[in-house]
Amino acid sequence: MLLHIPELLSRDELAHCRAVLAQADWRDGRVTAGPQSAQAKHNLQLPLNHPDHRALADLVLGALARNALFTSAAVPHRIVPPLFNRYDVGMEFGAHVDNAIRYIPGSDGLRIRTDISATLFLTDPEEYDGGELLIHDASGTQAVKLPAGDMIVYDTTVLHSVAPVTRGSRWASFFWTQSMIREGSRRRLLFDLDRTIMGLRARLPDDDPDILGLVNCYHNLMRQWCTL
């Protein structure tokens, strides 16, 4: 899965995030990296104990909760509270894979399985050079650089990196999701089915027999495949 979700944040939400981050005391980003990732990671991060971190994370979580495309694609069970990072000139993150298990900060030892990764861009492409999110898979390398407020969602299983920034500063929020559907191929099938149902509902009444049949199939597959 490699899914572009446009305008996750409203313009007002984006402006608020940027205003807060512009005044933030950024710290070394390696504090949240695993042993392998820490060797490749060179960026800055908003500390978890920053007084505005929780409010910014809740703002992103609220945007996710109202976004039907994210819900359809991820079928989220739990989400690690969003983190915020910054890449200035010369900073990068070499190829790595995210940890399979992560603790929920501030919880009583709660852990989640990381099925889906996401990067929410907070600076526009014109504000910096380099800094592309690079997804490395069997088909090659795909470079992602989206408008501020847009988000990319991808399977946590793939190698990925952030290209060196050569001008300006790249800000983003990132987080991981544990899906109710553990198997990626099943998530993609349910996503395709859900999008098909939504397309038909735009043209046909909700009580159309074919729509009702597809909805029935969707929920019966959910019952078989959900892991809660």
Where is 35: in which H helix or E strand? helix 35-40
Q: Check the annotation: does 54 bind a ligand.
A: no
Q: Which pLDDT does position 201 carry in this prediction?
A: 96
Topology given in CATH for the domain delimited by 184-225: DNA Excision Repair, Uvrb; Chain A (4.10.860)
Q: Which tokens belong to 89?
A: 């000139």
Closest CA to 84 of 144, 16, 172, 7: 172
Listed as ranges, residues in the chain with pLDDT below 50 are none
CA dist 59 and 93 (Å) reads 26
Q: Which pLDDT does position 40 carry in this prediction?
A: 79
The helix/strand/coil state of 83 is strand
The distance of Cα 95 from the centroid of its chain, to the nearest Å, equals 17
Q: Check the annotation: does 98 bind a ligand.
A: yes
Q: Which pLDDT does position 37 carry in this prediction?
A: 62
Total Cβ atoms within 10 A of residue 50: 18
- Segments making up each domain of the chain, as ranges: 2-179, 184-225
- Per CATH, 2-179 and 184-225 having the same topology is answered no
Q: Check the annotation: does 160 bind a ligand.
A: yes
Is 65 buried (19+), middle (13-18) or exposed (0-12) by CB count in 10 A?
A: exposed
Total Cβ atoms within 10 A of residue 128: 19
Q: Which pLDDT does position 7 carry in this prediction?
A: 98
Q: Which tokens belong to 202?
A: 């735009």
**CATH for the stretch 2-179:** 2.60.120.620
Q: Which pLDDT does position 38 carry in this prediction?
A: 63
Q: Which pLDDT does position 1 carry in this prediction?
A: 85
Q: Check the annotation: does 96 bind a ligand.
A: yes
Q: Which pLDDT does position 30 carry in this prediction?
A: 73
CA dist 8 and 121 (Å) reads 10
